[in-house]
Amino acid sequence: MNQPGVPAGHDHKDHKVTMYRNGSIYTAADPFATAMVVDGDTVAWVGSEQAAASIADSSMEIIDLRGALLAPGFVDSHAHLTETGLALSGLQLASVRSAKELLDAVATVGGSGSVLGHGWDETGWSDPTLPTLEELDRAAGGRHVYLSRIDVHSALVSSSLAAAAGLKGKDGFSGTAHVVRQAHTSARLAARHLPDGERRAYQAQALQEAASNGYVAMAEMAAPHICGPDDLRMAASWNEHTNSPEVLPYWGELARSADHAQTILDSLGTKVLGLAGDLNMDGSIGSRTASLMNDYADAPGHRGSLYLSVDDAATHLAATSLLGVQAGFHVIGDAGLGAVLDALDAAAAEVGEQRIRAAGHRLEHVELADQSAIERLAKYSITVSVQPGFDAAWGRAGGLYEQRLGDRSQAMNPFASFYASGVPIAFGSDSPVTPLRPWSSVRACLEHSNPEQRISARAAFLGHTRAGWRAAKYRNPLMGQLVPGAPASFAVWEVEELMVQVADSRVQSWSTDPRARTPLLPALDTGSDPRCLQTVREGHELFAHDSLRA
pTM for the whole structure: 0.91
Per-residue pLDDT, averaged over 174-200, amounts to: 93
Instruction: For the chain, give the mean pLDDT.
Output: 92
CATH number of the structural domain spanning residue 165: 3.10.310.70
Same domain as 267, residue 366 = yes
**What are phi and psi for residue 346, nearest 5 degrees?**
-65, -40
- For the cut 90, the answer to whether the pLDDT of residue 331 exceeds it is yes
Residue 130: other Cβ atoms inside 10 A: 18
Of 519, 536, 526, 17, nearest to 243 by C-alpha is 536
Which of 250, 273, 288 corresponds to the end of one domain? 250
Instruction: Specify the pLDDT at position 517.
Output: 55
Q: How far apart are CA 224 and CA 124, in angstroms?
A: 31
Same domain as 277, residue 142 = no
Instruction: Specify the pLDDT at position 112.
Output: 84
Of 27, 65, 29, nearest to 549 by C-alpha is 65
In a domain, 510, yes or no: no
In a domain, 232, yes or no: yes
* Structural domain total, the chain: 3
What DSSP string runs through 258-275? Answer: HHHHHHHHHHSSS--SEE
Give residue-wise pLDDT tens across range 516-535.
457 888 888 877 899 999 99
Alpha helix ranges (H) inside 172-308: 181-191, 196-211, 229-237, 258-267
Which of 216, 250, 284 corresponds to the end of one domain? 250
Same domain as 421, residue 454 = yes
- For the cut 90, the answer to whether the pLDDT of residue 31 exceeds it is no
Same domain as 186, residue 47 = no
Query: What DSSP state is assigned to residue 412?
Result: B
In a domain, 5, yes or no: no
Of 243, 245, 248, nearest to 540 by C-alpha is 243
Same domain as 303, residue 158 = no
Instruction: Specify the pLDDT at position 14.
Output: 56
Question: Confidence band (pLDDT; 50, 70, 90) for 475?
Answer: confident
Q: How far apart are CA 222 and CA 82, in angstroms?
A: 10
In a domain, 501, yes or no: no
- For the cut 60, the answer to whether the pLDDT of residue 91 exceeds it is yes
In a domain, 105, yes or no: yes
Same domain as 384, residue 330 = yes
Same domain as 376, residue 432 = yes
In a domain, 1, yes or no: no
Of 512, 454, 479, 529, nearest to 31 by C-alpha is 512
Indicate the residue type of 427.
Answer: F
Domain that holds residue 127: 74-250
Beta strand 509-511 with 490-494 is unpaired
CATH number of the structural domain spanning residue 25: 2.30.40.10
Question: Confidence band (pLDDT; 50, 70, 90) for 276?
Answer: very high
In a domain, 506, yes or no: no
Q: How far apart are CA 317 and CA 138, in angstroms?
A: 48
Q: How far apart are CA 367 and CA 371, in angstroms?
A: 13
Half-sphere exposure in the Cβ direction for 160 (13 Å, CA) = 16
Name the residue with higher pLDDT: 509 or 439. Answer: 439
Same domain as 491, residue 455 = no
Contacts of residue 363, Cβ cutoff 8 Å, sequence gap at least 6: 328, 329, 331, 337, 340, 377, 382, 383, 384, 385
Same domain as 21, residue 160 = no
Pseudo-torsion of CA 205, 86, 366, 211, nearest 10°?
10
Question: Confidence band (pLDDT; 50, 70, 90) for 111?
Answer: confident
Which of 194, 220, 250 corresponds to the end of one domain? 250
- For the cut 70, the answer to whether the pLDDT of residue 81 exceeds it is yes
Same domain as 465, residue 416 = yes
In a domain, 405, yes or no: yes
Same domain as 259, residue 235 = no
Same domain as 374, residue 255 = yes
Instruction: Specify the pLDDT at position 501.
Output: 59
